[in-house]
Structure formats: C-alpha cells, structure tokens
Amino acid sequence: MTRALALCAYLLAVQAEPSIEVHIVAHTHDDVGWLKTVDEYYTGQNNSIQHAYVHMILDTVVRCLEQNPNRTFTYVELAFFVRWWRQQDDSTKALVKRLVSSGQLEFSNGGWCMHDEAAPHYLDMIDQTTLGHKFLMEEFGIAPRTGWQLDPFGHSATQAALLSAEVGFQGLFFGRIDYQDLALRKDKKEAEFIWRASPSLGSDAQVFSGLTGEYGGNYGPPSGFDWDAFSSDETIQDDPQLEDYNVKSRVDDFVKVAMVEASQTRGRHIMMTMGSDFQYEDAFTWFYNLDKLIQHVNADGRVHVFYSTPGRYVDAKKSEQVTWPLKEDDFFPYADGPHQFWTGYFTSRPALKRYIRDTSALFQVAKQISAIAGNPTSSEQQGLEKLAEAMGVAQHHDAVSGTAKQHVTFDYAERLAKGRAAAVTGISAALGRLTDARSSSEFSYCDLRNVSVCAPTEAVGKTNKRACFALWNGLGHEREELIELPVSTDKVEVVNGMSNQAVEIQLVESLQSLTNYGAQAGGAAHTLLALVKLPAVGHASYCLQTAGAPAPKAQLANISQGDCQAIENENLKLWFCAGMLANITDKLSKVSARAEQSWMWYNASLGNAESSQASGAYIFRPNRSQAFPVFTGLPFMRLFRGPLADEVHQEVGSWISQRIRLARGSRHVEITHTVREIPVDDGWGKEIVSRISTDLKNSGVCYTDSNGREMLQRKRDYRPTWKLNQTEEVAGNYYPVTTSLFIRDETAQLTVLTDVSEAGTGCVRDGEIELMVHRRLLKDDARGVGEPLNETQYVTPYLGSDQGRHYGPGLVVRGQHWLHFGAPATAARNWRPLMDRLYLPVQPFFGQGSPSRSFSAMQGALPPNLEVLTLAQWDDEHILLRIGHQFGLGEDSELSKPTSVNIKSLLVGATVISIEERGLAATITRAEVEQRRIAWHVEQSPVHPTPLQSDDFTFGPLQIRTFFVKIKRTDMAMFI
C-alpha cells in the first residue's frame, strides 16, 4: 500500500511539473552609432534625436545585479563597455569581475560592435571580434560562448561558419529573417535549428541557431512586457491592499505568450529577450518587475520561469534529446513585408564603404610592419590601437552598412581618418628600421592618391629632390604589377632603391579632376605607371626622380567615334563598339562572348498604389523593373596604347566616366568608374547600376560571395528553404556582393570583382550581371534613420530640434570593378588570387631618406592556394599568425585540395620556439574550440573529421587556422 501511494504521488508530481522552461534574458541592444554618434549615445547627448545614455545603463545594471544574486544580464558591445570600464574605480571593477565570474553578467558576441553581415570583409569581422575578445580574456579570463546578432538586416554564411563555430560559439541568436521564412518556421516548429553554412568547412562549422523576440522577427520583450523606464506597459502590482491589483491577469498574459512561443520550436526550453534598444538606463525599474514576474508565474505553476543567459540557454537545449532541422544556405536578402527588400544598404553610402575597405588594407599592413620590426614603441602600439578601435566601430551594422544619419556617417569617417594618421605615425620608425632609410625614418602616406594627389611625388621635377618610397606587399606571395604615382612632369623615371636600375614605366592621363573638393584640391597632371616586383609579406624600395627625357607615354589612337575598336594583350581581347564594351575573348581557352556594358539608373520609388514603400537607406525598391539608360547618345571614347597597358577612357553623358585598363600579361580587365553628382532636379531619386549583358546561358543562376569567403548559388525568384512569393522582380533578386559575383554556362564564366560591398545580381535576366555603385534618394524608407539617403558635401549640425540640413554638391564616388573571363574549369585559379590583390593593394610609404634594401618575412613560398591573412604582435612573446586556404570546395581540380605548410620553416630571421594553434579569435586554444562543439542531433547526421597534428599544418578548402608563434629573433634587423 505504501509503494502504491508513493507511485501515485510521483505520477502526480510529474503531471504537475511545468512543461515549459522559460529563460529570461535581460539585455540591452546598444548601437555603436546610428541616429547619434557613438559618443552621443554613451554620454546621453542630443537626446532630442533619440533618448539613449549608455553610461547610465552600465552603471545601473551593475548595481541591480549586486542587489540580487539571482539576477542576470547579457551585454554585447565592447566599444561601449571598454570606455565605461576605463572610467571605473578599483572597487567597481572588482564588483564587475565578481559578477562576471559568478555568471550574473555574461558577454555574448563580445566583439567591439555587433557587426553588419553583408558589407564587411571577413578579415574585418574577425579583427573586430578579436579586439573585443582579447579585452575580455585579459580583464576577466573569459571567452564568449554565444553569438548575439540580433539587429543586422540578414545573416551571412560566414557569420555562422567562421564568426560562430570557428570562434568557439555554441549558439548563435538573431532577430531578423524574411517575413515569409519566419511564418513558415513558426508553423513548422523550426524557430531554432542547426545552421551548417559552409560546404567547404562542413559539419565542423555548424552552430545551434535560434530566433529571438517571441520568434517574431525582432529581439525585444513580448508585447505588453516592456518595463523600461520610458515604457507605458502595465507593471505588476501585487499588493492586495492597493488599487489595481493585477497579478492574475499579468501571469495569465505571460503564460499565454510562453505557450505560443513554445509551439514554434522543439523541446521544453524557450528564451525570452527582455530588453531592447538602449534599455535599462534605469535598470531598477526592469529588474523590480522581472523579480515579481518570476515570483508569481512560478507560484502559478503552469510554466517555470527564471533568470538566464544565452550561454545557460544553450546548455539547457544541449540537455534535451531533440532532433533539429538543418539550415545550409544564408539569410539574404531580408524582407520584412511584400515590396520591402532590404537590399539597398548593400550599396548605401559607397564612399564610406570604400574608405572602410581601404583602411582595412592599411590596417593589415600596419600590423605586419609593427610585428616584423619587433619591440614596438608605445607610439606604435597606441597608433595601432586607435586604428583598431576605429575599424571596430566602423563594422557596426549601422556604419559600414550605410544606414546611419549623415552627421553620424561623418563621425565614422573622422574616426577612421584619425586612426589612420595615428597608425602611420606610429609605424614610421618601425618601417625606417626595416627599410634602412639612410637620412630619415619619417614616412608619410598619400591618402588622396585615388584623385592623383600626393605631395612627395608631385614635388619631383619642381625641386631637385627625388621621392623614395617603400612598396609594401601584404600578401603571402610575390607579386608583379603596375602601381600608380601622381606626377607633375613627364620628365621622370623610377629606379630600384637597391640597384638604382630603372624600371619600366608609362605615363597615362590623370583622373584627378572629379572630386567633391573642386579644382583647389590640386591633382597631378599625369599618372605614372611603374612595373614593380615585390616580395611576399615585405617591401621593395624604389625612387621617383627627374629624368633627362620624357617618360614613355600612352599614345592616343586615331579612331572614329561609333566604330568598333579593340585592345588586347597575350591573354584577352576586348572589342568596343559605339563607345562601350561589346565583346570579350579569352585567347587561351579560345572562349568568346558578347559582353555589352551599359550604365543605367533605376527610378527610386516614392511609394505607389501597390505599396507605400519607398526606396531608402535600407530598402531598394525601383519604381519599375526596367532601368533607364544614363545617356541615350553616343558615349565619347578615347583609346590610348602604351608599352605597359592600353586604356579606354569613356564619358557616358555628363556625370559618369570610366577608364578601362588592360595591362600587359594580365588575365583581367580593370574598370575604374567615377559617378559625379547624381542629378535629382527632376524630382526622382536614382539608383545607379553598371550592367554587362552577355550571351552566357546561366538560366537565372548566379553566384555571390559571403563576406569574401564561400561562393553561394543564387536562383531567380527562388529561396532554398521555402517557396518564395516574389513581389519585387529586381530588388528581390539582389544580393550582397562583398567582393565577387559571377555567372557561367558550360563554356564560359564572367566574374566581376568589386573593391567594396555593392548590391548586385546575375539572376534577374539571363546573361546579365548588374552592380549598383551609387544611390541618391529623396525620401526616407521609414525604417528609423529618419532622413533620405541624399548625400551631399555638407550637413548642418544636429542640435536641439534641428534635424540637419543637407547642402552643397551631391557626393562623387569612384570605384573599381575587375573583370575576369574564361573557361569555368580554370576560372577560380585566376579570380581567387585577384580577389586577394584587390582587397590588399600594394601600400606605398614615402620617406625623406633613400631606402637601401628590400625585405620579405617569408623564408619560403606558400602553396599557391594558401594566404597569410594576419601577421601581428599579440603580446611581448607571441606573434599572431593566421593562414587561410583561399579556394572553396570543388572550385578548382587542384587548388581546392587540402594542402600543408611547415610553419617552423616559413618565417625568416628567428628561431621558432613554439607554435600553439588557437581559435579564430585567438583567445582560446583550438582544442577548447573543439571541446565546445556539441554533437547536435540533426535531420542529417554530421561527420567530424579528425584534425591533423604535426609541424606540417594541413588546410582544407577555405579553412583558416590561427596560431601563436613564439620566436627568438636571430637577426634584429630582420623579422624571423
């Protein structure tokens, strides 16, 4: 009888146990600039634009956590936390360390910002994550376990594979996915899933992923449960002696929400995000109500609710025996409703995007120089830190995305400019030691070379001085290519700094005339092309000096406008008819195709009867599916033939021009386009695209890159995981092109490489590639930024109620597209290395002295499919070295294969004492990354390859491996 009663009691207890476990994740989402600058957000200034005061958020959250050991909080943006931390006294720092150690305060993501996932280059994503993680490890001894990408407007395969799985994240959470995808996932209980985003990296790079915010496409609290200080939602009144006692109704409302959320995923555990943009400025209000919610809901007993964190939530999901759905592609493009595709921001603010990308290349080289020189001075360290933090801020999903207000955009650019100046100043002495500059170690960097402005080179011929410079190659392979130098006279030559032997040169017309700064900015009359050869990860020294005779000059060919003309080299032949590119031939594979380039503009919608949605900073919505030609007449074309390169210069109407260059021996064509002030006097905003129409039969299929890594297949009006109801023929088929886009058929492939993120497609019409290079719009798209994307030279300050007035000429932008054409089977072995060259161009540093030697940090050649991605000083003992396999699975019959390198014999001038492999963000070991991986039960069984361990490190397709290399320098004048 006793056993029977005990069994009944047990069964009753089981039946009474809540079926749903609700994890309360208190958090704030703090944009690192958007409507206000990062400083305004931190200090609470300019609250007439947006009320936000991050300093008070951190102050009050810490005190609330101290009051109650059950409370938890999740924080993300280290750009804010670090500046707050630097202002705290020792007692507050000790308190925060206790809160972190106990798990009450958890850092998710842990990067300098919550970066965008469409526009950034993967190395910038890695760098800003590493910057934040290094701080957390040094101050708290922790490495975040979860990704927290709540707000970006679409999510990339690189985010899942590299910036999650390879960092050591066990979970990745985000708020925004396409409205059609969201509805289907909620219906099929697939709001949480396993994301295996990289075919090249396979199941090792998968991550548990989940939607946030009631699985409703957002990241805030459930409707009715926002208890921020400025919210009007009903608080919990649990004193029966007072009016408005509401415990039952509040509990019932919460349980109802929990039941709905639980019906949309698998397992007993669900997460509720309690917080939103810049919330918890008065954290006491939030936690007071959360404490009462937890108390009374648990007393009710239908669900169990408690304070939690993303890390604890993943632990709970891990404990459940659930089979999860599998996701293998990405989450682009994002739409939050019919006609509302967030594909415009892939291009928005192209000048800022290009400045960030250009600064990224300088930053990689600056780190290399500092590490190679060794013993960095405090000036070097401070300069690199300032640039690292500026670059970290710039990766924010309202910075590089181009979706901030104009005055905030100016602030981002100013931070980059100050960071660049500090870094160049800091590494000047280090570069002087490496180059052995005889008379001075002062080096300068010409920031305006793209508009033919460079004081050291322009001075040659005006004085008796010559301009000597070190050309730094940041890539892990030798390169031979043309560099451009602005010169003011044609009587110049370039000599090797060691041998004093002249190198091949050619003068071409300068492109200095088109800037936002007018003729007063100057600009050299000529551009000198010099053929230089550079060692891997190192420099060669050259000097520009006055010559007795004019340099060879490209000769203007005598052509008739409208006729067909050709330029060609050993590999390619291009035909131009009616002033524009018309045909391209790969002479090696004997493949030829029609390739007609045209400049077009889409009429930016102001809203119509079908939908009120307008084009804006985020959203691309053309008023019609057909674009208009920029110019309907015959473009003006000039053809120059020279010993090093042929060039075609074109004027397409009055506000677009371009230069097409085919260099001797090149496998690609370089197009430099300039878009002057976009005219809007007709009352229409315009989205400017470069289109190349071919006869390739790609059947609506194109391929775009994911942040410069994996190439993803795209199909017209198609999504891999649901049947798309297409509402925008053009915008709904646009994708982020961070570095590359191609179309192909059985015989030919046309690849276009970009020097910056752009919106693009090869899917709208068969045989056509289209890239949006500039936008000027006259209406806001109602997604929060509150102003049209109408970039002008000036904007009045945002003070009080003044919303800023744009004035001055519209923005002029210049950029590059590199075209590669050839047989599909061999295309990748050409465009993949070109992609690295375009991202990391040769960096010239101009010195007052005469550099006397060249230098390479590489003792031997890397395999052709590997690249040095990072070479930086980590601490007093270790060099941080990242090497990446640069080919995707199946892209090339040979170069996509795994390959090995012996790191001990790779570097010059020192003895390698030890090599330790680390996770991608470098703060934990590779072994710990492996230990963190969870063998999730998925609808397709994963296979985990065993890592190879030896001095010869093997790299599979697109694999990046990170190392701490401890060295003993044997030649202080050289690196290793």
Q: Looking at residues 756-766, what average pLDDT do you find?
A: 97
Cα 911 from Cα 971, distance rounded (Å)? 10
Domain count, the chain: 3
Which alpha helices (H) appear in 228-268, and where do they start and end? 247-262
Cα 762 from Cα 767, distance rounded (Å)? 7
pLDDT at 878 over 70: yes
Scan for tokens 């407007």, then name that residue. 153
Q: Could you write out the three-class secondary structure of 836-883? A: HHHHCCCEEEEECCCCCCCEECECCCCCCCEEEEEEEECCCCEEEEEE
> What is the amino acid identity at position 673?
H
Q: Looking at residues 472-489, what average pLDDT do you find?
A: 95
pLDDT at 516 over 60: no
Kindly report the number of other CB atoms within 10 A of residue 444's CB atom. 17
Determine contact, residues 773/690, Cβ cutoff 8 Å.
yes
Instruction: Specify the long-range contacts of residues 80-85, CB closer than 8 Å, at least 24 apart.
Output: 80/30, 80/32, 80/38, 80/41, 80/42, 80/54, 81/107, 82/135, 83/42, 84/42, 84/54, 84/55, 84/58, 84/59, 85/139
Tens of pLDDT, residue by residue over 354-398, are: 999 999 999 999 999 999 988 888 888 999 999 999 999 999 999
Band (pLDDT 50/70/90 cuts) for residue 920 is very high
Kindly report the number of other CB atoms within 10 A of residue 299's CB atom. 9
Band (pLDDT 50/70/90 cuts) for residue 766 is very high
Band (pLDDT 50/70/90 cuts) for residue 297 is very high
- Pair (307, 243) in one structural domain: yes
In a domain, 441, yes or no: no
The CA–CA distances, whole Å, from 370 to 93, 287, 365, 469 equal: 31, 47, 9, 18
Q: Looking at residues 805-809, what average pLDDT do you find?
A: 82
Kindly report the number of other CB atoms within 10 A of residue 809's CB atom. 12
The CA–CA distances, whole Å, from 447 to 384, 425, 428, 456, 864 equal: 17, 13, 15, 12, 31
Tens of pLDDT, residue by residue over 224-233, are: 999 999 899 9
- Pair (640, 743) in one structural domain: yes
- Pair (816, 879) in one structural domain: no
**Mean pLDDT, rounded, of the chain:** 92
Instruction: Give the pair of three-digit tokens for residue 111.
Output: 């990067």
Alpha-carbon 874 to chain mean position = 23
In a domain, 417, yes or no: no
Determine contact, residues 644/663, Cβ cutoff 8 Å.
yes
398-430 burial, b at 16+ Cβ within 10 Å, e below that, comes to: bbbbbbbbbbbbbbbbebbeebbebbbbbbbbb
Residue 472 phi/psi, 5° resolution?
-100, 130
Cα 283 from Cα 64, distance rounded (Å)? 7
Tens of pLDDT, residue by residue over 625-683, are: 999 999 998 899 999 999 999 999 999 999 999 999 999 999 999 999 999 999 999 99
Identify the three-state secondary structure at position 831: helix
Scan for tokens 């509805």, then name that residue. 183
Alpha-carbon 889 to chain mean position = 22
Cα 443 from Cα 514, distance rounded (Å)? 28
> What is the amino acid identity at position 532?
V
Tens of pLDDT, residue by residue over 170-182, are: 999 999 999 999 9
- Pair (818, 868) in one structural domain: no
- Pair (831, 877) in one structural domain: no
CATH of the domain at 623: 2.70.98.30
Q: Looking at residues 768-780, what average pLDDT do you find?
A: 97
Band (pLDDT 50/70/90 cuts) for residue 547 is very high
pLDDT at 217 over 90: no
Determine contact, residues 206/165, Cβ cutoff 8 Å.
yes
The CA–CA distances, whole Å, from 521 to 349, 449, 494, 511, 514 equal: 22, 12, 25, 13, 10
The CA–CA distances, whole Å, from 923 to 135, 929, 963 equal: 9, 10, 10
Higher local confidence (pLDDT), 632 or 752: 752
Cα 213 from Cα 222, distance rounded (Å)? 7
- Pair (97, 34) in one structural domain: yes
Q: Which domain holds residue 759?
A: 555-796+804-837
Cis check for the bond before 333: say yes or no (omega within 30 of 0).
Answer: yes
Least confident of 422-436, 461-475, 590-604, 845-859: 845-859
Q: Could you write out the three-class secondary structure of 755-791? A: CCCEEEECCCCCCEEEEEEEEECCCCCCCCCCCCCCC
Q: Looking at residues 251-257, what average pLDDT do you find?
A: 97
Alpha-carbon 630 to chain mean position = 30
In a domain, 379, yes or no: no
pLDDT at 949 over 50: no
- Pair (37, 185) in one structural domain: yes
Q: Which candidate, 447, 528, 536, places its Cα nearest to that of 494?
A: 528
Q: Which candidate, 152, 195, 118, 172, places its Cα nearest to that of 707?
A: 118
Band (pLDDT 50/70/90 cuts) for residue 524 is confident
Instruction: Give the pair of three-digit tokens for residue 605.
Output: 């919608």
State the pLDDT at residue 230: 87
Kindly report the number of other CB atoms within 10 A of residue 800's CB atom. 9
Determine contact, residues 506/553, Cβ cutoff 8 Å.
yes
Alpha-carbon 506 to chain mean position = 36
State the pLDDT at residue 1: 42
In a domain, 58, yes or no: yes
Q: Are strands 711-715 and 749-754 parallel, antiparallel or unpaired?
A: unpaired
- Pair (572, 623) in one structural domain: yes
In a domain, 270, yes or no: yes
Residue 556 phi/psi, 5° resolution?
-70, 120
Higher local confidence (pLDDT), 495 or 522: 495
- Pair (825, 885) in one structural domain: no
State the pLDDT at residue 519: 42
Determine contact, residues 52/289, Cβ cutoff 8 Å.
no
CATH of the domain at 970: 2.60.40.1360
Cα 856 from Cα 871, distance rounded (Å)? 13
Least confident of 142-156, 208-222, 910-924: 208-222
Residue 316 phi/psi, 5° resolution?
-70, -40
Rounded to the nearest 10°, the torsion over CA 887, 889, 894, 895 is 10
Q: Which candidate, 603, 765, 776, 580, places its Cα nearest to that of 677?
A: 776
State the pLDDT at residue 11: 37
In a domain, 724, yes or no: yes
CATH of the domain at 109: 3.20.110.10
In a domain, 213, yes or no: yes
State the pLDDT at residue 99: 98
Q: Which residue(s) pair with 172 in the sheet?
A: 147, 209
Determine contact, residues 960/884, Cβ cutoff 8 Å.
yes
- Pair (726, 864) in one structural domain: no
Q: Which candidate, 515, 117, 486, 123, places its Cα nearest to that of 351?
A: 515
Treating both helix axes as pointing N-terminal to C-terminal, what angle do 78-86 and 122-140 enclose, rounded to 10 degrees? 40
Band (pLDDT 50/70/90 cuts) for residue 322 is very high
The CA–CA distances, whole Å, from 512 to 451, 491, 515, 550 equal: 4, 19, 7, 21
Identify the three-state secondary structure at position 194: strand
Q: Which residues contact 451 (CB under 8 A, 6 or more apart)?
A: 511, 512, 514, 515, 517, 521, 523, 814
- Pair (902, 764) in one structural domain: no
- Pair (865, 726) in one structural domain: no
> What is the amino acid identity at position 473?
N
Treating both helix axes as pointing N-terminal to C-terminal, what angle do 378-394 and 406-435 enclose, rounded to 10 degrees? 150
Q: Looking at residues 43-58, what average pLDDT do you find?
A: 95
In a domain, 140, yes or no: yes
Cα end-to-end span (Å), the chain: 82
Share of the chain above pLDDT 70, in %: 93
Q: Are strands 206-211 and 171-174 parallel, antiparallel or unpaired?
A: parallel
Q: Which of 345, 379, 413 is the last residue of a domain?
A: 345
pLDDT at 974 over 60: no
Global pTM? Answer: 0.95
Instruction: Give the pair of three-digit tokens for residue 25.
Output: 């994740």
Q: Which candidate, 342, 341, 339, 344, places its Cα nearest to that of 611?
A: 339
State the pLDDT at residue 907: 82
Cα 84 from Cα 135, distance rounded (Å)? 13
Instruction: Give the pair of three-digit tokens for residue 762.
Output: 């090869």
Tens of pLDDT, residue by residue over 336-348, are: 999 999 999 999 9
Determine contact, residues 786/408, Cβ cutoff 8 Å.
no
Q: Which residues contact 851 (CB under 8 A, 6 or more apart)?
A: 435, 436, 437, 468, 469, 470, 497, 539, 541
